[in-house]
């Protein structure tokens, strides 16, 4: 069995790392000092480019490439928004960093601000993370007192502020353009792209949005080098990844592993501890509830972004949800369909209406009121998957389509 490889989570559990004094003793903020005193922003960006780091928020976009979309010589302020909305069902990894090593995240934010020329970062954190927001606010205050946030950091020309902004219960605000509308104090409606946020984002200024786990990887990359980071994982899935495993397993939890060193099934058995009671697996959702469910016989593939994609699903946010043979797949589909219907912001007709129809039809099937043609109707609605402003509608379609096609007998029973 491959062991857990704790790079991002290395300090987790050591005493005192919630304070600046404690974290400095563990090498905290050394990368920040190194970057601002000995490297140019371009050199920082290059290290991240060589690391092969890809976004950990779900879409897997190459991080350095995203940063490069900021217009050169803009006279507007540049903003960084850290996406700490963590709301995709199954996902509970970012909070491990927020709650247990907040200074790692702050250091990653400061380094990224330095790299992209930003003086102001916001951490958009879901409202339900009361404790996490408090921990971050205290860590920021502490870092300010030590001169690590604020004016002329380490005596250089680099100045940077970080603010925490609490959302208030809306899954859609994890979508990056919705996050920005929400941070502007409005109802969190997604916006059409283009313009992309890197060109016109928060208050119409160039803005980079990155996930917590993405930003938390930056200090390591600067400390040890991009090439060092890239040696973990595979070419397309560089570095380690935090995986959350939940559902029917003996050892649910958050584990950090290098991708490509085991199969999806091995991860479920070795890290998740297998299924309780020796039951069989019926289905696995490999990347958060919006990703297509996989059947038991599909699990013997390498655990990487690219292999899971080739199998027709996605590692998404890294949330692996295991369902044993006793699960009623119609009921599972119904819970997921209800979630997306509840969270649709209602701007686009296919999403607003389609998500509701999904619930009505699947609920009818679940309560024994199904009609002939229901399955065909569900699949027909799925065809409008790419007709909306934001990908929430796609996120609602994928699970329904996968549940219906892979467990069709249960929907037609």
Q: Would you count residue 142 as binding ligand FMN (CB under 6 A)? A: no
Query: Contact, 316 vs 287, CB < 8 A?
Result: yes
Tokens in use for 68?
């490069």
- Cβ-based neighbour number of residue 365 at 10 Å: 23
Q: Would you count residue 240 as binding ligand SF4 (CB under 6 A)? A: no
Looking at 1-9, 248-256, 378-386, 388-396, which segment touches ligand SF4 (CB under 6 A)? 388-396
Q: Would you count residue 345 as binding ligand SF4 (CB under 6 A)? A: yes
Q: What is the C-alpha separation between 36 and 45, in angstroms, rounded?
A: 13
Report CA-CA distances (Å) from 366 to 17, 401, 413.
49, 16, 10
Q: What is the C-alpha separation between 267 and 96, in angstroms, rounded?
A: 20
Nearest of 111, 103, 101, 121 to residue 226 by alpha carbon: 111
Which residues between 71 and 100 bind other proteins (CB under 8 A)? 77, 86-92, 94-95
Q: Which is nearer to ligand SF4, 190 or 233 (CB)?
A: 190
Q: Would you count residue 384 as binding ligand SF4 (CB under 6 A)? A: no
Residue 169 backbone phi and psi in degrees, to 5: 90, 70
Q: What is the C-alpha separation between 119 and 78, in angstroms, rounded?
A: 7
- Strands lying side by side in the sheet with 240-247: 253-258, 240-247, 319-324, 281-285, 294-295
Q: Which of 346, 364, 371, 413 binds ligand SF4 (CB under 6 A)?
A: 346
Q: Which is nearer to other proteins, 44 or 389 (CB)?
A: 389
Q: Would you count residue 110 as binding ligand SF4 (CB under 6 A)? A: no
Least distance to ligand FMN, CB of residue 357, Å = 19
CA 27 centroid distance within chain: 26
Q: Would you count residue 407 as binding other proteins (CB under 8 A)? A: no
List the single partner that 351 binds among other proteins, ligand FMN, ligand SF4, none, CB under 5 to 8 Å by kind.
Answer: ligand SF4
Q: Which is nearer to other proteins, 52 or 188 (CB)?
A: 188
Element (H or E) spanning 333, and its range? helix 329-343
Q: Would you count residue 108 as binding other proteins (CB under 8 A)? A: no
Q: Which is nearer to ligand SF4, 261 or 317 (CB)?
A: 317
Q: Which of 210, 234, 289, 304 binds other proteins (CB under 8 A)?
A: 289
How many residues touch other proteins under the rule CB under 8 A: the total is 54
State the binding string over 286-325 for ligand FMN (x if CB under 6 A, else -).
Answer: ----------------------------------------
Query: Contact, 348 vs 393, CB < 8 A?
Result: yes
Q: Which is nearer to ligand FMN, 274 or 391 (CB)?
A: 391
Query: Contact, 371 vs 408, CB < 8 A?
Result: no
Query: Contact, 237 vs 54, CB < 8 A?
Result: yes
N-to-C CA span, the chain:
40
Nearest of 353, 355, 375 to residue 364 by alpha carbon: 375
Q: Which is nearer to ligand FMN, 96 or 153 (CB)?
A: 96
Which residues between 41 and 100 bind ligand FMN (CB under 6 A)? 55-59, 61, 66, 83, 85-88
Report CA-CA distances (Å) from 360 to 12, 241, 354, 357.
45, 37, 10, 5
| Residue 270 per-residue DSSP state | I
Q: Would you count residue 292 as binding other proteins (CB under 8 A)? A: no
Please, which residues bridge with residue 294 across strands?
284
List the single partner that 211 binds among ligand FMN, ligand SF4, other proteins, none, CB under 5 to 8 Å by kind.
Answer: ligand FMN
Q: Would you count residue 395 as binding ligand SF4 (CB under 6 A)? A: no
Q: Would you count residue 176 as binding ligand FMN (CB under 6 A)? A: yes
List the single partner that 20 binds among other proteins, ligand SF4, ligand FMN, none, CB under 5 to 8 Å by kind.
Answer: none
Q: Would you count residue 379 as binding other proteins (CB under 8 A)? A: no
| Residue 119 per-residue DSSP state | S
Q: Would you count residue 339 as binding ligand SF4 (CB under 6 A)? A: no
Strand ranges for 35-157 from DSSP E: 79-84, 120-125
Query: Contact, 294 vs 325, CB < 8 A?
Result: no
Binding site for other proteins (CB under 8 A): 77, 86-92, 94-95, 120, 126-131, 163, 165-171, 182-188, 203, 244-248, 252-254, 285, 289, 319, 321-323, 327, 332, 335-336, 339, 342-343
Binding site for ligand SF4 (CB under 6 A): 172, 190, 344-348, 351-352, 388-390, 392-393
């Amino acid at each position: 069995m491959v062991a857990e490889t704790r790079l991002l989570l290395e300090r987790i559990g050591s005493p005192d790392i919630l304070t600046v004094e404690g974290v400095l003793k563990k090498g905290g903020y050394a990368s920040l000092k190194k970057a601002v005193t000995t490297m140019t922003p371009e050199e920082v960006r290059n290290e991240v480019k060589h690391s092969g780091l890809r976004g950990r928020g779900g879409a897997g976009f190459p991080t350095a490439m995203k940063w490069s979309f900021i217009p050169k010589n803009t006279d507007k302020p540049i903003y960084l928004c850290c996406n700490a909305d963590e709301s995709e069902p199954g996902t509970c990894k970012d909070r491990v960093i927020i709650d247990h090593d907040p200074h790692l995240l702050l250091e990653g934010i400061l380094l990224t601000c330095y790299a992209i020329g930003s003086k102001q970062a916001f951490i958009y954190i879901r409202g339900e993370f009361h404790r996490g927001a408090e921990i971050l606010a205290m860590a920021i205050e502490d870092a300010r007192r030590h001169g690590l946030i604020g004016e002329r950091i380490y005596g250089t020309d680099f100045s940077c502020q970080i603010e925490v902004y609490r959302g208030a219960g809306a899954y859609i605000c994890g979508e990056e353009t919705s996050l920005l509308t929400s941070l502007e104090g409005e109802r969190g409606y997604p916006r059409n792209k283009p313009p992309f946020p890197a060109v016109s984002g928060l208050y119409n200024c160039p803005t980079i949005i990155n996930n917590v786990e993405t930003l938390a990887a930056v200090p390591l990359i600067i400390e040890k080098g991009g090439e060092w980071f890239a040696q973990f994982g595979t070419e397309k899935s560089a570095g380690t990844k935090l995986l959350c495993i939940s559902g029917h397993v003996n050892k649910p939890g958050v584990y950090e592993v290098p991708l490509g060193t085991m199969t999806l099934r091995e991860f479920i058995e070795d890290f998740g501890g297998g299924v309780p009671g020796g039951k069989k697996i019926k289905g696995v959702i490999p990347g958060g509830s919006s990703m297509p469910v996989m059947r038991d016989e599909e699990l013997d593939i390498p655990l990487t972004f690219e292999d899971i994609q080739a199998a027709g699903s996605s590692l998404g946010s890294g949330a692996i949800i295991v369902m044993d043979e006793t699960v009623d797949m119609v009921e599972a589909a119904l819970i997921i369909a209800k979630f997306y219907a509840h969270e649709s912001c209602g701007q686009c007709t296919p999403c607003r209406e389609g998500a509701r129809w999904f619930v009505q039809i699947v609920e009818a099937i679940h309560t024994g009121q199904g009609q002939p043609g229901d399955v065909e109707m569900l699949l027909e609605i799925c065809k409008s998957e790419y007709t909306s402003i934001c990908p929430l509608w796609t996120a609602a379609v994928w699970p329904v389509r996968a549940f219906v096609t892979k467990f069709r007998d249960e929907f037609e029973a």
